[in-house]
Amino acid sequence: MKNLFIGIDISKDVFDYCALDQKNKVIFRGQNSNTEGGIKNFRQRIKRYRSYAPWICMEHTGYYGYLLAYEFSRFGFDFSMVNPLDLKLSLGMVRGKNDAVDAYRIASYALSNKHKLKVYKLPAKELRELKLLMKTRERLSKALVQLKNGVKGMRIAAQTINIEALIKKNDLLIKKIETQIKAIDKKMLELIKSSPKLYETYKQITSVIGVGPVTATKTIIESGNFKKITKGRKFCCHAGLAPFEYKSGSSVKEKTKTSPLCNKSLKGVLHKAACSAIQHDPQLKKYYKRKRDEGKHKLSVVNAVANKLVMRIFAVAKRDTPYVKLAA
């Protein structure tokens, strides 16, 4: 059976699609609403081409692609979710932009990279819910920091300007956001406890010194409960903790460093966990002091400690046993 590579460009209200055969010939193209009805019409259109085996490829666009991914999984379609940066870099020099052309480019990318495409597996319902809750928590936490910093500035200005009423309103808003964050934390824990597998994993990795509820939940989400990412080294790359060398020939040789292409929110969480571990784990505290005495930069050592934490997390998750505290 011939393959049919379908590229989809997703936006808030609609999605554009373009289907190419193995000879890069356009078989059909169009635009549907990003709703259950629009997806149903798209599915019916694909069914007309019974002599082809469809393979759908689309960018990982977050919320806008949730419904498409859910419906495609429900109906058993083979589809891939591609990193937008990977797609952008593969296209080379591009002039101009519109959604219909982008759909063709995505289909062309799928045709050219068919040997690398992997079938996307929709995470379990609990993991999808946890991810949404964590994203909301991160947005609220960011807003909370901004508000608190703003209030600090206003208290200084209040020495010369009468803005006490404004400060009180901001204080109330801060308390509301803190209450919302606590409610989200409670909801995430309830969700984890509702799934025996998730709760067992959660208990194992929170036994690692320095790993709290937020770090544990974030790690479970990003690793797909250690099924999407199964190796600690790969997870460190994903989080931006793994250092890479940079050299070419005999003239280009720069300092080994981490890549900026990473999940920055995950990196921030793991760095906080590393700082906590340095305070409470005698072995890591001794390691941190030794590296600092050798002249290593503080952030570089914290990054190394975060690497060690990730390896410990993956070790206890793999063994399915709690962490055993080691002597310093």
145-195 pLDDT, tens digit per residue, is 999 999 999 999 988 999 999 999 999 999 999 999 999 999 999 999 999
pLDDT category, 4, cuts 50, 70, 90? very high
pLDDT category, 328, cuts 50, 70, 90? low
CATH number at residue 37: 3.30.420.40
The predicted pLDDT at position 94 comes to 80
236-245 pLDDT, tens digit per residue, is 999 999 888 8
Residue 52 is assigned to a structural domain of this protein: yes
Do residues 65 and 106 both lie within one domain? yes
Do residues 6 and 31 both lie within one domain? yes
Do residues 100 and 140 both lie within one domain? no
Q: Any alpha helices (H) in 121-223, and if so which ranges? A: 125-157, 164-193, 196-205, 213-223
**What is the enclosing helix (H) or strand (E) of 84?**
helix 84-91
- Please determine, for residue 103, whether its predicted confidence score (pLDDT) is greater than 80: yes
Q: Which domain holds residue 53?
A: 2-112
| pTM of the full structure | 0.88
Residue 253 is assigned to a structural domain of this protein: yes
Domain C-terminal end among 112, 146, 163: 112
Place of tokens 């952008």: 88
Do residues 171 and 247 both lie within one domain? no
Domain C-terminal end among 112, 137, 168: 112
pLDDT category, 260, cuts 50, 70, 90? confident
Q: Any alpha helices (H) in 224-262, and if so which ranges? A: 232-239
Residue 7 is assigned to a structural domain of this protein: yes
The tokens for 33 are: 């609403």
Query: What is d(CA 259, CA 312) in angstroms, rounded to the nearest whole number?
Result: 22
**Alpha carbon distance, N-terminus to C-terminus of the chain:** 62
The predicted pLDDT at position 244 comes to 86
Do residues 183 and 105 both lie within one domain? no
CB 68, CB 18: distance < 8 Å = no
Residue 213 is assigned to a structural domain of this protein: no
- The count of domains in the chain is 3
Do residues 104 and 142 both lie within one domain? no
CB 262, CB 235: distance < 8 Å = no
Residue 99 is assigned to a structural domain of this protein: yes
CB under 8 Å to 38, separation ≥6 — which residues? Answer: 14, 15, 32
Do residues 242 and 297 both lie within one domain? yes
Do residues 273 and 189 both lie within one domain? no
Residue 60 is assigned to a structural domain of this protein: yes
Residue 207 is assigned to a structural domain of this protein: no
Query: What is d(CA 68, CA 63) in angstroms, rounded to the nearest whole number?
Result: 10
Do residues 152 and 89 both lie within one domain? no
Residue 73 is assigned to a structural domain of this protein: yes
129-139 pLDDT, tens digit per residue, is 999 999 999 99
Do residues 129 and 42 both lie within one domain? no
Do residues 73 and 136 both lie within one domain? no
Domain C-terminal end among 83, 112, 141: 112
Weakest mean pLDDT among 43-47, 93-97, 300-304, 309-313: 93-97
CB 277, CB 284: distance < 8 Å = yes
CB 272, CB 215: distance < 8 Å = yes
CB under 8 Å to 29, separation ≥6 — which residues? Answer: 16, 17, 18, 19, 100, 103, 104
Do residues 189 and 229 both lie within one domain? no
